[in-house]
Amino acid sequence: MERVRPGGRVRAHRGFHRHRRAGGLRPRPAPVPGRRGVSGVREPVVTVPPEAAGLVGGGPHRALFLDRDGVVNVDHGYVHTPGRTEWVPGIFELARAARAAGYVLVVATNQAGIARGYYDEEQFRAYTRWVHARFAEEGAPLLATYYCPHHPEAGQGAYKVACACRKPEPGMLLEAIGRHGLDPAGSVMVGDTPKDMEAAAAAGVVRRFLLCGPGAEPGESAAGIAVASLDEVARTLVAGAGEAAPAAGRHGSRAPLA
């Protein structure tokens, strides 16, 4: 487990500000620290014992997989400090509802800011420990945060690679499924881009929600179920808490987006 570094101020949410590039971030060379898992995915950030995050018993366990930027925090572009953090409305309510319904919480995030040199892996991991502390304070501890630090075109040095972990590749999800004994057929993915939906489908995650923001037309598509808010996802999880999970294909098979 990693120690949580307290501090930092969180600004009030002012709406969905997605896909804005960060200003004033100076690229810096960064080393490539840390261990790698069996699939080549970076070691996840973990701050509490698995039992405290809901991983109790022999499993398999259901998971709520969350993208980060645009789902957990508002996407201002390369967010990596508490001072630039704005929580997406409903994220803590969703996390608590998921835990009450028997899901463990796993974040899977592409972090091209590391590849581009805007911040290094230790800065990201320190910030992520702070995020984990906030979820724990809200009564919904995260099991783990998986991240991909690569980019196939804009990466610097060893980070410039076409890897198996950057979404839409399913590497991060498959690593989490294997490491924690998760059941993809009974799990759920919430993302805000088609890449999130494709990665989840390839990992065998059947229920997928595409967060489109206020004013979005609700409905189901090949990618997933479009929702305007996280509240809609929370209501679905609570309503279906006792339902059996639908069947899914084998882990790692590239299932169609259906």
Q: What is the pLDDT along the chain (258 residues), one digit of tens a residue?
A: 654 444 443 333 334 333 333 444 433 333 334 434 435 689 999 999 999 999 998 889 999 999 999 999 999 999 999 999 999 999 999 999 999 999 999 999 999 999 999 999 999 999 999 999 999 999 999 999 999 999 999 999 999 999 999 999 999 999 999 999 999 999 999 999 999 999 999 999 999 999 997 776 767 777 899 999 999 999 999 997 755 443 333 333 333 332
pLDDT at 223: 82
* Apex 251 CA angle, 62 and 44, nearest 5: 65
pLDDT at 67: 98
Contact (Cβ atoms closer than 8 angstroms) between residue 173 and residue 200: yes
Bridge-partner residues for 64, per DSSP? 105, 188
Residue with tokens 């950057």: 166
How many secondary structure helices (H) and strands (E) does the chain include?
Answer: 6, 7
- Going by DSSP bridges, is the β-strand pair 207-211/188-191 parallel, antiparallel, or unpaired? parallel
What positions carry a catalytic annotation? Answer: 67, 69
Which domains occur in the chain, in start order?
60-239 (3.40.50.1000)
Contact (Cβ atoms closer than 8 angstroms) between residue 138 and residue 72: no
pLDDT at 86: 98
Structure tokens at 65: 């997989």
Residue with tokens 């995915």: 41
For the residues of 55-72, what is the DSSP string, one character each?
A: --SS--BEEEEE-SBTTT
The one-letter amino acid at 189:
M
* Apex 9 CA angle, 48 and 172, nearest 5: 40
The DSSP output letter for 43 is: P
How many Å apart are CA 187 and CA 204, to the nearest integer?
Answer: 9
| Of 229, 237, 236, 226, the residue nearest 90 (C-alpha) | 229
pLDDT at 221: 76
